[in-house]
Chains A and B, each alone.
Chain A
């Protein structure tokens, strides 16, 4: 085979991978005239990045033809996933990735902009185990891509060299390009189908950070110097029904030592409503274990 021919076939193969996914990738326009991408996921759903929607409840979705208005069905702040309902669209044409995804694997981001489909080839920069984001979301895998990213590729499909879907691409902190794994999108979409929303875990505790000196930290068996004090209990919340008092120190949950509000928030975010948790409290110098069932954050504001 001549060299030119093999380059041409390589190029054609790359284009084929992209064109196989393009029919399932939407262009999403917000009222602020921002364009990003979305992926058809199940018969009437399109998923996209939540943050760029900036609280919109309707967007325009197009697959290269006239745009249709779609409702933002639900957004999950913790995983940055927004679910849109697009009733008229066909089922997705993509298949799931069956290739191993490791650092160095080749990846393509396939999106759709206002002027048509777009693609960016690059590599997997990092493929790690499940992780909890700073926003508190639990993601099935840590995926970072080494690829030239544009705002229009937010919500794009990240596919392997066979066109198998790996993840949805979103902008991460510090200019990183993150992949929201397909498994995580599945989980969030299932919640939306069941509840019409993504229920957010909630205890009803208002916490304040507290710094312990070394002696106190040692006495309390806290490895680090930070802890949280219960500064408020929301009325009619799960905490209100439990034996929790103002001024209790929240040292840990379920035996896990927690060193501050961030740790509590992160642990709670990964806990489904309905789960029973044991709060390890310190009241007036005496440890006590208090059971509380995680509820759902109220969707109406309290008076």
Chain B
């Protein structure tokens, strides 16, 4: 295993290298650019890349390592939840806090060396935030489904839940379920308010 410290800032690269040396990786080397990393990777035996620096600038280093199938440990405090998925796909095998202590870095390096993926405990809220962001995305009016729009259009004609259910060939409970979802998405308390808001947002034909 050859650990490589990679950061676009030389100072940070050297700091990462120092940390690797500190945990006993005396064969570790540092690179400060994507081409340097690309040159180094084929010449290293079982390279493992420790990437630092602000995201998304550091993503280029991750991608370069990923393309050569080198596992990546990413030091990042502020990785957006949406970036995490992309990072994992790019070959990131560990996401670790910037101020990680020597013992934990050692453990993470060994775990990744064994083919495991490591996520620091503090990342859980970040993942939660990503889920929330996705939920919030769904809650925007743009998130109305075709079925929900259909139901809104029928509500606008004054149709009862049962009538809507009959016309769509679904159960009245399904209709009610959809209506609750529409109310939540449009932040509406009443049927009339939902219809009016949907019309203003361009979700309902006039």
Chain A residues near B (Cβ < 8 Å): 50-51, 54-57, 72, 74-78, 80, 134-136, 197-198, 200, 202-209, 231-232, 234, 237, 260-262, 264-265, 268, 297-302
Contact across chains for B158 and A56 when beta carbons are under 8 A apart: no
Report the bound CA distance from A80 to B192 in whole Å.
Answer: 8
Contact across chains for B160 and A56 when beta carbons are under 8 A apart: yes
Contact across chains for A301 and B202 when beta carbons are under 8 A apart: no
Q: Which residue of A lies closest to B150 (CB)?
A: A301
Please name all residues of chain B whose beta carbon is closer than 8 Å to the beta carbon of A209 when the two chains form the complex.
Answer: 200-202
State how many angstroms separate the Cβ of B160 from the closest Cβ of chain A.
Answer: 4
Q: Which 9 pairs across A and B sit closest by C-beta, in order of nearness?
A: A57-B160, A55-B161, A75-B158, A135-B192, A77-B192, A208-B202, A301-B150, A265-B199, A57-B162
Contact across chains for B206 and A264 when beta carbons are under 8 A apart: yes
Please name all residues of chain A whose beta carbon is closer than 8 Å to the beta carbon of B206 when the two chains form the complex.
Answer: 202-207, 261, 264-265, 268
Contact across chains for B192 and A299 when beta carbons are under 8 A apart: no
18 more CB-based (< 8 A) A-B contacts, given A57-B163, A206-B202? A50-B158, A55-B155, A55-B176, A55-B191, A56-B161, A77-B156, A135-B193, A136-B196, A200-B156, A202-B206, A205-B206, A207-B202, A208-B202, A209-B200, A209-B202, A261-B202, A268-B206, A301-B154
Please name all residues of chain A whose beta carbon is closer than 8 Å to the beta carbon of B204 when the two chains form the complex.
Answer: 206
Q: Give chain B interface residues in 147-175, CB to chain A under 8 Å.
A: 150, 153-164, 167-168, 175
Contact across chains for A74 and B162 when beta carbons are under 8 A apart: no
Please name all residues of chain A whose beta carbon is closer than 8 Å to the beta carbon of B150 when the two chains form the complex.
Answer: 301-302
Contact across chains for B192 and A51 when beta carbons are under 8 A apart: yes
Interface presence of B114 (CB below 8 A)? no
Offer 12 A-B interface pairs, CB within 8 angstroms, sorted by A.
A55-B191, A56-B160, A75-B160, A134-B196, A198-B158, A202-B205, A261-B200, A261-B202, A261-B206, A262-B199, A297-B157, A299-B167
State how many angstroms separate the Cβ of B202 from the closest Cβ of chain A.
Answer: 4
User: Size band of the B side of the interface?
Assistant: 20 to 34
Please name all residues of chain B whose beta carbon is closer than 8 Å to the beta carbon of A264 when the two chains form the complex.
Answer: 206
State how many angstroms separate the Cβ of A236 from the closest Cβ of chain B.
Answer: 12
- The dominant DSSP class at the A interface is loop
Please name all residues of chain B whose beta carbon is closer than 8 Å to the beta carbon of A197 when the two chains form the complex.
Answer: 157-158
Contact across chains for B154 and A77 when beta carbons are under 8 A apart: no
Q: Which residue of A lies closest to B159 (CB)?
A: A299
Please name all residues of chain B whose beta carbon is closer than 8 Å to the beta carbon of A74 when the two chains form the complex.
Answer: 158
Interface presence of B65 (CB below 8 A)? no
Q: Which residue of B lies closest to A54 (CB)?
A: B191
Report the bound CA distance from A204 to B199 in whole Å.
Answer: 12
Partner of A232, one of B155, B192, B196, B205: B205
Chain B residues near A (Cβ < 8 Å): 150, 153-164, 167-168, 175-176, 179, 190-193, 195-196, 199-202, 204-206
Report the bound CA distance from A204 to B190 in whole Å.
Answer: 24
Please name all residues of chain B whose beta carbon is closer than 8 Å to the beta carbon of A76 when the two chains form the complex.
Answer: 158
Q: Which residue of B lies closest to A79 (CB)?
A: B192
Please name all residues of chain A whose beta carbon is closer than 8 Å to the beta carbon of B153 when the two chains form the complex.
Answer: 297-298, 301
Q: Which residue of B lies closest to A72 (CB)?
A: B160
Contact across chains for B195 and A77 when beta carbons are under 8 A apart: yes
Contact across chains for A55 and B205 when beta carbons are under 8 A apart: no
State how many angstroms separate the Cβ of B157 from the closest Cβ of chain A.
Answer: 5
With A265-B200, A301-B167 given, is the CB distance from A205 to B191 under 8 Å?
no
Q: Which residue of A lies closest to B164 (CB)?
A: A55
Contact across chains for B199 and A261 when beta carbons are under 8 A apart: yes
State how many angstroms separate the Cβ of A189 from the closest Cβ of chain B.
Answer: 14
Partner of B205, one of A57, A75, A135, A205: A205
With A51-B191, A55-B179, A80-B192 given, is the CB distance from A299 to B202 under 8 Å?
no
Please name all residues of chain A whose beta carbon is closer than 8 Å to the beta carbon of B175 when the two chains form the complex.
Answer: 55
Please name all residues of chain A whose beta carbon is closer than 8 Å to the beta carbon of B179 when the two chains form the complex.
Answer: 55
Q: Which residue of B lies closest to A76 (CB)?
A: B158
State how many angstroms separate the Cβ of B36 from the closest Cβ of chain A.
Answer: 48
Q: Which residue of B lies closest to A232 (CB)?
A: B205
Report the bound CA distance from A203 to B205 in whole Å.
Answer: 8
Report the bound CA distance from A221 to B170 in whole Å.
Answer: 48
Q: Which residue of B lies closest to A135 (CB)?
A: B192
Please name all residues of chain A whose beta carbon is closer than 8 Å to the beta carbon of B162 when the two chains form the complex.
Answer: 57
State how many angstroms separate the Cβ of A204 from the closest Cβ of chain B.
Answer: 6
Please name all residues of chain B whose beta carbon is closer than 8 Å to the beta carbon of A135 when the two chains form the complex.
Answer: 192-193, 195-196
State how many angstroms separate the Cβ of B153 from the closest Cβ of chain A.
Answer: 7
Report the bound CA distance from A231 to B157 in whole Å.
Answer: 22
